[in-house]
Amino acid sequence: AVVFGEEKKELSYTEATQELSRTMEHHSSIEHLDEDGYTQLDFSSCNIIRKPVVSEKGFCAASPRWRPIAVTLGILCLVMLVITVVLCTMGVLSSSCPPNWITHQNSCYLFSTSLDSWDTSKRRCLQLGSNLLKIDSLKELEFISRQVSSQPDHSFWIGLSRRQTEEPWLWDDGSILLSNLFQIRRTVTKQDSSHSCVWIHVSVIYDQLCSVPSHGICEKKLST
């Protein structure tokens, strides 16, 4: 009877231990339930493979192998910008008059200080990339008259001449002088020779011997 009693006590202790273990397991499972009774999964102990995060600036970061190409393109753009600026600057300079020249509308004018024959004056203007003055309009004539009137002691060659007395007056570009633009007065000289060149004195235009030394007016058209 004593033996049976000890075995019964041992069984009761074992059963109590198992019951306690089951109760703890049940309690542990209850802790993983939310308030609605659904089981909450714990992923903290799981190995999760995370996908790479896409950058806000693009789907993926720029590969280092593209960097040299990007740098090269940047340098080319910079070179093109510099070339553009230089060309624009040259364009601006080509549309402005050189130093000591006077700007009026679309032309530059240089009133020479040296005394030369008509042919030499023409040659000097050509060396400066210009021509002896050609008067195209009454407005231009008024402008020239104002300029030379400030120097009443000087006369200035213009780009008008003729080969023979009977021939028409021609500008350097071969065009004929319009009769309604101005009249050419004849210069009285002791020499009996044809006056085949033209100069302007104050506001009056005269014919003259081409060999007489005088100043000249060079004209250069501005580029558009």
User: Which residue, chain included where needed, has tokens 């023979």?
Assistant: 164
Helix residue ranges per DSSP H, the chain:
2-31, 67-94, 118-127, 138-149
- Residue pair 209/99 in contact (Cβ under 8 Å)? The answer is no
Q: Is residue 220 predicted with pLDDT exceeding 60?
A: yes
For position 70, what pLDDT does the model report?
82
- Residue pair 138/181 in contact (Cβ under 8 Å)? The answer is yes
With cut-offs at 50, 70 and 90, classify the pLDDT of residue 50: low
Secondary element (H or E) of residue 200: strand 197-201
pLDDT in tens, 73-118: 888 888 888 776 555 444 444 568 999 999 999 999 999 999 999 9
- Residue pair 39/32 in contact (Cβ under 8 Å)? The answer is yes
Torsion from C-alpha of 100, 106, 112, 115, nearest 10 degrees: 170
For position 45, what pLDDT does the model report?
46
pLDDT in tens, 20-49: 566 555 545 444 445 555 455 454 444 545
Q: How far apart are CA 159 and CA 47, in angstroms?
A: 98
DSSP codes joined into one string, 73-115: HHHHHHHHHHHHHHHHHHHHHHTSPPTT-EEETTEEEEE--S-
The residue among 165 and 112 whose pLDDT is bigger is 112
What share of the chain in percent tops pLDDT 90? 46
Q: Which of 66-75, 114-123, 127-136 has the lowest mean pLDDT?
A: 66-75
Q: Is residue 11 predicted with pLDDT exceeding 50?
A: no
The residue among 145 and 166 whose pLDDT is bigger is 145
For position 92, what pLDDT does the model report?
44
